Structures are given as C-alpha cells and as structure tokens.
Structure 1
Amino acid sequence: MAMPSALIGFAYFKLVSRLLSYPFTPVENVLVQSVAGSVGTMPLGCGFVGVIPALEFLLKPKENGPLSISLWKLIVWAVGICFFGVVFAVPLRREVIIREKLKFPSGTATALMIGVLHGEKGDAGLMLQQSRDLPLRGQEDESDRLLPADTADRSLELSRTRSSRDAGQGDEVELGATDHDDWKVKIKLLTVSFGISALYTVVSYFIPQLRDLPIFGLPLAHNWLWTFNPSPAYVAQGIIMGPSTTLHMLFGAIIGWGVLSPLAKSKGWAPGPVSDWTTGSKGWIVWVSLAIMLADSFVSLGWVILRPTMSIIRDYYPEARRAFQEHSWKEIFTFQIRLNKGYSALRPIITPNDLSLTKSVTNGPEEDAPPEHLISTRTTLIGLILSLSLCIAAVHYSFAGLIPLLLTLLALVLALLLSVMGVRALGETDLNPVSGISKLTQLLFALVTPRGSKNAIIVNLLAGALSESGALQAGDLMQDLKAGHLLGAAPSAQFYGQLIGSAVGAVLSAGVYRLYTNVYQVPGGQFQIPTGYVWVFTARLVTGQGLPPMVPEWALGAGVLFAVTTTVRTWGARTGWGGVRFVPGGIAVAVGMYNVPSFTLARTIGGLIHLYWHTYLGREETPVIILASGLILGEGLFSIVNLLLASFGVPHL
C-alpha cells in the first residue's frame, strides 16, 4: 500500500493546502505514506490473515483447539508483537541502505512517484543513486512492479545535474516542473477509478453472484470451481504485480485446478467434494503447492546466506592465508578486527580492489542524514529491550499456558536473525520471503518441541507468526526508509511515525478482524482463509502427522522441480539472462495453485493490461499505476460499507 497511501495522502493535502500554514512537500508526503503503510501492514503482520484464523477455526480437539480468543486478548497480542520488527530495522538501515546501497525497488519507485506528484512546483529535489545502482526491470524476483528506470525515462523530464555535497558523493536529480494540466489528469484518473471501484463494491453486495461468474460454463463452475471474480482490486493488484508474476500464477492455477485436481479425484486420492479441504482435491492440492513454496523459499534464503559468504571467502581468504604465513599474531588480530568492521580500509595486510559483496568499499557509502535526524544507539537498544519484553508479556497473556517461556525467547531470536535475511532479500529482489521465513521457523520448532505434546501445533503456529511478523515489519519499514532517504526525510521522524502507525494498525486490525468473523462465516464462500490452511498443514506436516494418499510422491517431485527452477531464476537474475522471466517462479505458481481460480484470473487480466500498456504501447507506467491505486482504494474502503450493511442485516437482492 505504499504507492496508494502516498497518492491518497497527496490528494487530501492538496485539497486542504489553502488551510495549511506550512507547505506539503515530498518530505511530508513520505512521512504520511510511512504512517499509513505501517497501519496497512498490521493485518498480515499480526497474523489476522493466517495464524489467528487457523488457531480459532482450523485446529482439531486433539490439537487443543479450536481456541476462543477474546477481542481484548487479540488487541494485547497485536500490540505486543507490532513493535520489535520496527525497532530492529533501525540498526539494519545504515548497513543495507547507506553502505551497501541495496535497491529496494518499491521504495525507490514510491519516491519517484512522490516526485512526480510534487513536480509541478519545481522543488521536489530527489537524491538518487547513480544509474548503476538503480533497479532494472527483470532483476526483481517474484514481482514486476513499477521500477524507476522506466518511470524516469518517460514520465519525468529530468534534468540530471551532478552536485558535490561535502565529500562529493551522490548524483542529484531535480524533477522539473510538470504541466499543471497533466497533474489534474492524474488526480481525475485516480478519482474516477476510485468511484468505479466503489460503485462495483456496493453493487456486488446486493448482487453477490457478480463475485462468482461461471464464465467457463456451469459444469466447470460447480464441479471444478472454475469461476471468475471481476474484482477491481484484484485487477489492480495484477496491474501492479506485472505480467510475469500473474502469468506464473495462472500457470499454477491451470496445473493445480486443471490437471492435479481432476487427477486426484479420478484416482481416488481425494474422493470428497472438490471444495473440501479435508477429503477434496482442494486440500490435496495445497500440499503440492506447499512443497513448491518451501523449495522456492529455502533456495532463495540459502542464496541470501551463501552469496555474501562466498564473496567474503573469495575476496579475503587468500589474503587471510597470507597473513597467517607472513605476519605476526598482532597483525592477524588487527586484520580480524578490521575485517569485522567490513568497510574500513584493510591496508597494509589487505587491499581490496573490487568487492562483489558491496561497492561501498571502493566508492564509499552514501551520505547519511544529519546526526540529529538519526535514531541513537541508546534509543535503539532501549527500544529493542522494551519491545521484546512487551512481546513476551503479550504472548503469554493472550496464550497463557500454551507456549513455554524458553520457546518464546527462541522464537524471538530466530525472528531477529531471519529478519536480516528477509530485509536483504527485499532490498535485492523486491520480494520479502516471509512465507518461507515462517515455514523455516516452523520446521526448526518441530525439532525442539516435545513429540506428542498436545500444544505442539499451537506452539508451532505462534513461533512461525513471530518470525513472520518481525521480518514483515522490518522489511516494510526499510522500503519506507529507502524512499525517505531518496527524498531527504528524517529517519527519526519516519521511525516514530512507523511506531504510531503500527500501534493504531494493531488495534484497528484486531477490531476489524473480530467484526468480520462475527458477521461472515469463516471459513466460508467469501472468506476461505487459504493462508490459514497452509499454516495448519505446515504445522501438521513438520510435527509428524500423516499425509493424504500420494501426496509425498507428488510433493517431493514438485519440490525438486521448483528448487531447480528457482536456482535457474536466481542465476539468471544475477547474470542478466533475459529468459529468466519465462522460468516459472515457485512462490507465484504456488499461490495460483492453492487459491481457487477466481483469485488468479482477475489478477492475470491486470497483468495483461500492464503488458499491453507498457510493453506493447510503450506508454509510461505512472497512469496505469494511478489507475490501479484508485481501484484498490475504492474497493478497500467501500468493503467496510458492505461490512456495515451485512452487520445490520440488509438483505441481498
């Protein structure tokens, strides 16, 4: 929600600008976006999409469930876990943004969009990295998102002027004044798309059949769940995702629901109704998709760990060996200290010429914000201690007697360590592999949880939720900090804004979650909580429970196949191989496989719209992204109207 929140924040403050006694500049815009984005992170970050529904609705009595969690306990849980990932991101900022200058494509794209919106005043100065550091289309992993290399070429008339700031580092890109009529067209496009989406959302409440159209015929709809949901938000999400990801999702839907589902049904491996998660092919397919997801995530995480390790060994090992042979222990000790610093000159023992791990050694780190705009080490340490303590207290209050204290501490340690991997992956690929991080935690916890424990599934789910929450919060904040760094916003202001947004979002998401579960049937036709099933099935898998017939064979084969494809994609992205976009991405295929086809078809249409507009017509991406943002905002906001209509018992037509 970074770009939509930036757009709607700009539109609002533009309307009330005459009532303000201070200007609304790109700096204020990125701060608004940071707060709003942190609010939007909380439903997923606090587990209200997957873990909490799994605990409340999917656990069996022998698994000590299902749990009944009061609204107050949900709020305590959400507030307790919403801060530690935000605080932990602070010490990572200088490493990944200032020193290593990782790309964070969505954060950079958000900064450029804010620059576009403010460009009419001619004062939207945007400090960009040199062209070699800008993200290039095709380098992202699972998401084809708006990337600034394309936007800068077509949507902005950029006058590139080199400027020397203090040490002479950095290239300044000043956004020239954009035409006022062009700005009005963009705002009108946002407003019209918002209105169309809002109208559809309200109409779909009174005519719910609109969300389940049997476009391939009634037999395929009734027997195999091939329906179409023309949701504007789904189409818009596909536009932002891009054609590569959405077509891979379509490939997963065809394999899962067009091949594996009929096969499992005909062979008797899933004899129940197709829509049944226990005996039907929907529940059988999810195991294969889970294996694909795990294989993709483990390969991706392994590369995140292996790449810098190989770089360090390649760059430093020959010199380190020479140090042991030719120098005294004092020199070796000095070398080790300097090596641990990572960015200090290592002369005379080592003189690095070209480090692949980071160009910061030779080119110098980027210029950072003034000291008064940074978060001090003392504040970071105090905040980390307080946030972790609050998390521990909240977990043991909301789930009293269900998870031991030592396992909670272990879960938090793993969450902090795996957050580093998630942030690095996000900075390099624009994909935060939180699903893989949580599954890895679930696997590790299966090894330390006593076999036969009645609470084993609950412990497994809570541990995975903590690791996912930390990685998600740290990654989202880092995208915002990247945008803020490019626009010159104070990191301290963004940090405190993120804390405020996280607190508000935690309380709101808990209340809205409980409102939805009280009004709608969960799981049900509209809210099938597929992510919750994935969480529970993973917990049951790693804790040793049995699998449906033929699942082990098919899951193993799919896992091996997509481990290979992920390796090829990773290699292709690093070498610039153009054919990498045609290699199916494991996460995208798995998402298309475990969600019903209606989830995927509308997003695929959005991806094709993006392909036609940007690739075939060669138009700039900014208008189509604004269109998508309006569609998402319209359905998102007016779904609350539908919720209120349902809560008051307003009948459907």
Structure 2
Amino acid sequence: MAPIELPEDIQWSSKASLPQVTLRSTIAGLCIGSVILISNFQFGLQTGWVSMMSLPAALLGFAVFKAFEEKLGFEFTDVENVFVQSVAVAVATGPLAYGFIGIIPAIEKLLTNAESGYIDGIDLKPLWKLVVWSAGVAFFGVFFAIPLRRQFVIREKLPFPSGSATATLISVFHGTSLKIDGTASVKELPQDEETSDDQPIGPYHSNMTIIESQDICELAHMQEYHSNLKLLGITSMVASLYTVVSYFIPQIRAIPIFGSQLSEEYMINFQPSPAYIGQGIIMGFQTTVYMLFGTILGWAILSPLAKFQNWAPGPTDDWKEGSEGWIMWISLSIMISDSVVSLTVLITKSLIRLFFQCLAHAPSDDISSEIAHQELAQLMENNNSANSGQIDINPDTVTYDSTSDGSSDTMDHIFTSGSKEASESTENDSSLDDVGESYMVPMQWVIIGLIGSCVLCIVSTRIVFGSVIPVYAIVSSVVMSLLLSILGVKALGETDLNPVSGIGKLSQLICAVIIPKGTRGSILINLISGAISEATTQQAGDLMQDLKTGYLLGASPKAQFIAQIYGSIFSIFMSSLMYKVYTNLYEIPGKMFKIPTAVIWIDCARLVNGTGLPPKVLEFSIIFGTIFGLISLLKNLVTNTKCKFYRYLKYLPDGVPVGIGIYNVPSFTFARFIGGLISYYWLKRIGNCEKYRSSKVQMIIFSSGLVLGEGLFSVVNMVFSSLKVPHL
C-alpha cells in the first residue's frame, strides 16, 4: 500500500476559508451524534449521567472519512473534523438540554394534578408537544455564547481543558499544528532548515529536518489513530455483549455480593456494567471515592436508621414511604448547599476581580493605582494557583442532570491547565489574534436570534403548559438563565466543570422568591424555570468548548455556530422521538429506569415552595447541608496551592459527588468506584513518561468505548422488549 502523504500544514490564519459546512460532514456529525444520544438516553434515565463525548466524536468522524479517503472529492481537513464533532455534540446533549432525563419525566410522571395547576394535570403524551417544548429551549443559549467567545476564548484565553484536548487529538490525527498560547502556530520551514527544540512541527517538537519530522509525525499519528480505533472497537464489543446478555439474564444487574438480605431489603448489590465502569474511569478516583462515601453514608447508615426508627416504614424502594425517598431529601440538601456556596464564592470572586481590573485600568498616577495593580496581580496569582496542577474529573465534567453539570462533557478531561495571567486577559483588541471578520457570526444574527428564541420560548411554553405559566415568569427565567450561564461558562473554561444543575437549582430558589406562595401551579412554574436555566447553561457551555477547539485549529466560528444550529434542530426531533420510545417500551419510573434526577428536581421544587417533609428529614437536612456548605466554602476559599492546609482539603468530600452517592442506588456507585480505581492505577502506571498525553487519550477512548457499546446496544434490548422476547 502506498504511504499516505501528510497533509500540508496550512497557516492558521488561512484555515477558516477551507470547506467546513459540507453535506458529508453534516450527515456524519448527525449520525455520530445520534449514536451518542442513544447512549446518553440510556444512562440519563438510569442515573442522570450525560456526556458530550467530544473525543470519541472526533475520533469517529476521522475514522469515517479515513475509511473512504480514496473516494473523497476533496481532502477531509482538521477544521472539517471540528465541524463534524460540533454537530455530533449538539445532537448528543439534547436529552439533558431539553430536560428529557429530568424535568419532563418529573412533570409527566411525578407531578400531581394539584401541583400542575390543572384539574386533569399536564398531558405530555403527544409527540408534537415534546417537539414544541424542545424548540422553545434549544437556541437562546447558542446565540448567547457567541458574544462570550471573544471575552473568554480570545481575551482571557481560558483553557477549556476538554476543548483543548479535543483540538489536540484532531491535530494529531491530521498532522497539523495548534495555535499555542494565543500565538500563531509555527509554519513549515524550508526543507533543509532545522528547527530548534522549542518550535513545534505539527503537534510535536523536533530538531530534525522538516521531511524527517513529517515522516515521524505521519507514522506516529497513524499508529495512534489505528490503536485508538481498535481500542474503541474492542471495548464497545465487550460492552455490547454484556448488554445483550443482561437482557436474557437480568439477574446479573443486581448481584448480591454482600448477601441476599442486604440486597433484597436494603438494595445493596452490585451491577457489573461496563458502561458504569467506563463512567467511573472518566470521573476519576477522587470523585468516585466521594461517591462511595455518600453510598455508605446514605445506604448503610441513614437508610437503615430511618427504617429502624420508623421514619420511613415502607419498602426501601418506595419514594414516598420508604427510606430511599427519605434519604433523597438529605442528598438534595447536601447538593443544594454545595452548589449555592460554590456559586456564591464564584460570583464574589468575579465581582472582586472585575473591581480590581477597573481600578487597574483607571488613568491615575497616584499610589492607589499601583496598589490596585498589585492587588489585581495577587488575585490572579491566587486564581492561577487554584487552577494549577491536575484537575480532577468530577460529576460536572460528565454532566449530571441533577447535580452538575456535568460535559457535559463536558467529559473528555485530559490536561493540566491554568488560567492565563491578568496581562493576557487585558490586551487591546488590536493585539488579539483571531480569524477574519468574514468568518465571524454577524452581531445582527445574535441580536435577532436572542430576541426570536426568547419569543419562541414564551410561545412554546404557553402552548405546551398553558396559561398557568405567566409570561413574566418565563421572561424572568430567560433573563436569569442568561446571566447565570456566564458564571457557568466561566467555571467551565477555568476548571472544565459546568455546574448546570447547580445553576438550575439556584434558579429554582430565585423563582420561589419571585413567584408568590400559593400561586396556582407554583411547583410547575418552578420546574420550568429550572429547565430554562439548565438548558441555557448547557448549550452555552457546549458551544464554548467547541469554539475553543475551533480556535486552536483555526476553524470558522460561523461554521461552528451553524454546526450547533444543525445539530440542535436535528436533536429536537431525535430526542423527542427517543423519549417516546423509552416511555412506551419501559416502565418509567421502574426498576431499570428509576429517573432519580427527576425525583431530585421535583423534590427541590416542593422544598423551596414549602411542601411538608417526612419525619425528621428537616433536622438531618439542616445538619448535613450545613456541614457540606462549610466544606464547600473552605475548599473554594483556600485555593492557593502554597497554603499548608491546601493538601489536606482533598480528604474532605465534595457535596455533589456525596449527594450522587446517596440518591443513586449502591450498584450505580460500586461499579464506578471500580472504574475510579482503574483510572488511578492507569495514571500511576504511565507516570510522567513521554507518552503521558497519548496514554490519557487512550484511557478516555477505552472508557468511552464501554459507554458507547452498552448505550448503543440498548436499542437491541428495546427491540427484544417490543417483541416480548422472554428472559431466561
């Protein structure tokens, strides 16, 4: 076979003009996104887990076009690869963005007629209602992210670790260069000229001639591509086999490793799901340890206590009378406390930073100006210290509907990253290097899109949920969601964590203040408010991650915006249809799909609206909410790695993963803890060797294959269920 030539490393400033919005890339992105969407639905309804899957989407996109390379009319470039994965991510995250794993099940399955404000309740069975609702919340987060790009990606140069990781993977496969630290990538040198060690050729550093470097680069990127693709295929096959076997032998979903009594009476068992293990690898060891702590606290201590004290006399799995529903309130208090404290500290730090930046730029020759500059430098240095070193992957990275928020994935978390210096974030516009104006999204599109999508949200909400939802409540929710999404994008850019559900819960709290108590349908109104905020933050964060990827590779922001629109429109219909398929074929809520995030959402709405609690829950909720609120405050204030107490903070559990461990059944956590252990030993084995980056990519590909295989073959199980194929 003739060797494949390395594509010419086109100048970064010229890449935006390459073909990106093509029919072939759109179809490929929609197909890949559909596969990931099915996986997200499967595990979203089971556990609340949803992921962007940026890295697998980029890999699959490259693999598809590599297979048909000889038949392509023109070359498949790195920037077209960016377009493919942008479309795929927009499709894949639809279940979370449109509320199909949390809000919609909560309204359809758990909301009482009295809470809905209607005598006959809310009817969401018609498919057209789901489509109309999805269209109403699908776009204003997308339009709002566009003006944020210049501030967070260009001026502040926030790392967006998942977006940077995806860009690196694409650059390796295509043998092209990245835009490093806001400077243009190194161009190709004359054939006989050598490069110094600090000059990158493609994604590599070399002191060889350009021809030698190209040969090595090509060999390396092809070997890595085939290795990753093979790894993805093997792990997907293993997970697929388990999925089919689990249908015929459902007993393997609940193995009583601690005895039949604990399994039957307290639901403490083990499910050896490859996808759960893969998710644990993605989350990382520290997060899964916190989750395990939550499982022990909730299911081994609080649940038996509530049952023994007759505070929850019903069966354990009874949400109303059983201990599972009882500990749910404690989980909710822990997660709300942690989220509110974290967001409060984030808001305060942002305001302080803005204040000092204003002082630093004030035209003054007196001593106060210099003090302001010193304070600003110190503040930014502390912030950089907080973000330096390895960032743990926690539930927000993989996006939990009820707790994070979580890749969504952002999820593909690979690299150590930190915020840039203050001087970099305050450059003059004339010194900012960016693609040409013709490749930007016109501001007219943004303004018209924001107004139009806001009107669409109001109209669609009124059509689907009726007059019980006042217009002022929808408008205030939209405005509030746009403001809160700025915080979410900022947090995502700095830490790879998008706290979409924490923001959703905060909007529920604010909504409870805005909407007078006793208002007809107040619970429904509260849920809708949370759904709007979550959708906005999720969409804005996903697009900003993609825009970071595109910026590093020189892609057109306009093309990526179009990719998001294409993917969102397709996902509106695909997500609505898949939700109907799942609700028609399976009992929801049931043993297989317990929709715990829906329970979290509606319990939060009831809590902030003053609905009565089970016996003794209030006291326990206050105690644990206070404890984890203080822990969150401590962790968010002590962020300087040079502080002698900083190293001990990791032993204090974070509220979000602890809450996840409490509200999900133990089988959810045990498998993920195994994944966390695998992640720990995997990273420990590779250490700081030269292949550290590629090994971490392989780890993500390995885990993604487990998730994709089981999620995709859930369709096969759905076919078996619809045909009523008997179990063994």
TM-score with structure 1 length normalisation? 0.86
SS in 1 for 2:179: strand
Q: Which residue, 130, 137, 142 being the options, matches 1:81?
A: 137
- Deviation of 1:57 (Å): 0.8
Pairing of 1:217-616 with structure 2 (within 5 A) = 217-314=259-356, 316-317=358-359, 354=377, 356=379, 358-361=422-425, 366-575=432-641, 577-616=646-685
1:99 touches 1:360 (CA, 8 Å); kept in 2? Answer: yes
Q: 1:315 to 1:77 in 2, by over 3 A?
A: closer
Q: 1:537 to 1:175 in 2, by over 3 A?
A: farther
1:2 touches 1:33 (CA, 8 Å); kept in 2? Answer: yes
Q: 1:115 to 1:569 in 2, by over 3 A?
A: farther
Q: Which residue of 2 aligns with 1:146?
A: none
What do residues 174-193 of structure 1 show as CA deviations (whole Å, max 9, x unaligned)? 99334334432222111111
Stretch of structure 1 that moved more, 51-60 or 365-374: 365-374
Q: Which residue of 1 aligns with 2:23?
A: none
How far apart, CA to CA, are the structure 2 residues paired with 1:400 and 1:616? 58
Q: Which residue of 2 aligns with 1:94?
A: 150
1:573 touches 1:580 (CA, 8 Å); kept in 2? Answer: no
How far apart, CA to CA, are the structure 2 residues paired with 1:39 and 1:318? 43
1:27 touches 1:484 (CA, 8 Å); kept in 2? Answer: yes
1:287 touches 1:551 (CA, 8 Å); kept in 2? Answer: yes
How far apart, CA to CA, are the structure 2 residues paired with 1:284 and 1:316? 49
How far apart, CA to CA, are the structure 1 residues paired with 2:133 and 2:700? 35
2:281 touches 2:703 (CA, 8 Å); kept in 1? Answer: yes
Stretch of structure 1 that moved more, 578-587 or 434-443: 578-587
Q: 1:431 to 1:66 in 2, by over 3 A?
A: farther
Stretch of structure 1 that moved more, 447-456 or 43-52: 447-456
2:63 touches 2:229 (CA, 8 Å); kept in 1? Answer: yes
Look up the equivalent residue of 1:177 and give its one-letter code.
E
How far apart, CA to CA, are the structure 1 residues paired with 2:564 and 2:327? 38
Look up the equivalent residue of 1:400 and give its one-letter code.
G
Q: Which residue of 2 aligns with 1:185?
A: 227
SS in 2 for 1:575: coil
Work out whether 1:34 is the aligned partner of 2:34. no
SS in 2 for 1:125: coil
Work out whether 1:635 is the aligned partner of 2:710. yes
- Deviation of 1:405 (Å): 1.0
What do residues 233-270 of structure 1 show as CA deviations (whole Å, max 9, x unaligned)? 11111111111111111111111111111111111211
How far apart, CA to CA, are the structure 1 residues paired with 2:281 and 2:495? 18
TM-score with structure 2 length normalisation? 0.77
Q: 1:578 to 1:129 in 2, by over 3 A?
A: farther
How far apart, CA to CA, are the structure 2 residues paired with 1:175 and 1:379? 44
Q: 1:315 to 1:487 in 2, by over 3 A?
A: closer
Q: Which residue of 2 aligns with 1:647?
A: 722
What do residues 186-227 of structure 1 show as CA deviations (whole Å, max 9, x unaligned)? 221111111111111122112122222112211111011111
Look up the equivalent residue of 1:159 and give its one-letter code.
H
Q: 1:547 to 1:359 in 2, by over 3 A?
A: farther
Stretch of structure 1 that moved more, 453-462 or 641-650: 641-650
1:355 touches 1:361 (CA, 8 Å); kept in 2? Answer: no
Q: Which residue of 2 aligns with 1:338?
A: none
How far apart, CA to CA, are the structure 1 residues paired with 2:263 and 2:508? 35
Q: 1:642 to 1:361 in 2, by over 3 A?
A: closer
SS in 1 for 2:614: coil
What do residues 424-483 of structure 1 show as CA deviations (whole Å, max 9, x unaligned)? 111112111111111111111112223223311111111110011001110111111111
2:168 touches 2:203 (CA, 8 Å); kept in 1? Answer: no
2:113 touches 2:122 (CA, 8 Å); kept in 1? Answer: no
Work out whether 1:19 is the aligned partner of 2:33. no
1:101 touches 1:366 (CA, 8 Å); kept in 2? Answer: no
Q: Which residue of 2 aligns with 1:68?
A: 123
- Deviation of 1:499 (Å): 0.7
SS in 2 for 1:359: helix
State, as a whole percentage, how many aligned pairs show the same letter: 46
How far apart, CA to CA, are the structure 1 residues paired with 2:636 and 2:206? 33
What do residues 359-395 of structure 1 show as CA deviations (whole Å, max 9, x unaligned)? 3256667522221111121111111111111111111
Look up the equivalent residue of 1:587 and give its one-letter code.
V
How far apart, CA to CA, are the structure 1 residues paired with 2:454 and 2:252? 46
Q: Which residue of 2 aligns with 1:341?
A: none
Q: Which residue, 616, 626, 644 being the options, matches 2:701?
A: 626
How far apart, CA to CA, are the structure 1 residues paired with 2:426 and 2:507? 37
Pairing of 1:91-130 with structure 2 (within 5 A) = 91-118=147-174, 123-129=175-181
How far apart, CA to CA, are the structure 1 residues paired with 2:559 and 2:684? 39
1:125 touches 1:174 (CA, 8 Å); kept in 2? Answer: no
How far apart, CA to CA, are the structure 2 residues paired with 1:160 and 1:474? 38
What do residues 298-331 of structure 1 show as CA deviations (whole Å, max 9, x unaligned)? 11111221112222334555996979x999xxxx
Q: Which residue of 2 aligns with 1:200?
A: 242
C-alpha root-mean-square deviation of aligned residues, in Å?
2.7
How far apart, CA to CA, are the structure 1 residues paired with 2:596 and 2:611? 20
Q: 1:495 to 1:321 in 2, by over 3 A?
A: closer
Look up the equivalent residue of 2:346 and give its one-letter code.
V
Q: Which residue of 2 aligns with 1:158?
A: 204
What do residues 548-576 of structure 1 show as CA deviations (whole Å, max 9, x unaligned)? 11111111111111112212322344436
Structure 2: gaps (5+ residues): 1-52, 184-197, 208-213, 381-421
SS in 2 for 1:75: helix
SS in 2 for 1:68: coil
Look up the equivalent residue of 1:610 and give its one-letter code.
S
Q: 1:74 to 1:174 in 2, by over 3 A?
A: farther
Q: 1:550 to 1:34 in 2, by over 3 A?
A: same
SS in 2 for 1:400: helix
SS in 2 for 1:504: helix
What do residues 69-120 of structure 1 show as CA deviations (whole Å, max 9, x unaligned)? 12110011112211111111001111111111112111111212223333xx
Look up the equivalent residue of 2:205 and give its one-letter code.
S
How far apart, CA to CA, are the structure 2 residues paired with 1:353 and 1:524? 54
What do residues 484-520 of structure 1 show as CA deviations (whole Å, max 9, x unaligned)? 1111111110111001101111111111001100110
SS in 1 for 2:434: coil
Stretch of structure 1 that moved more, 306-315 or 217-226: 306-315
Q: Which residue, 57, 80, 104 being the options, matches 2:109?
A: 57
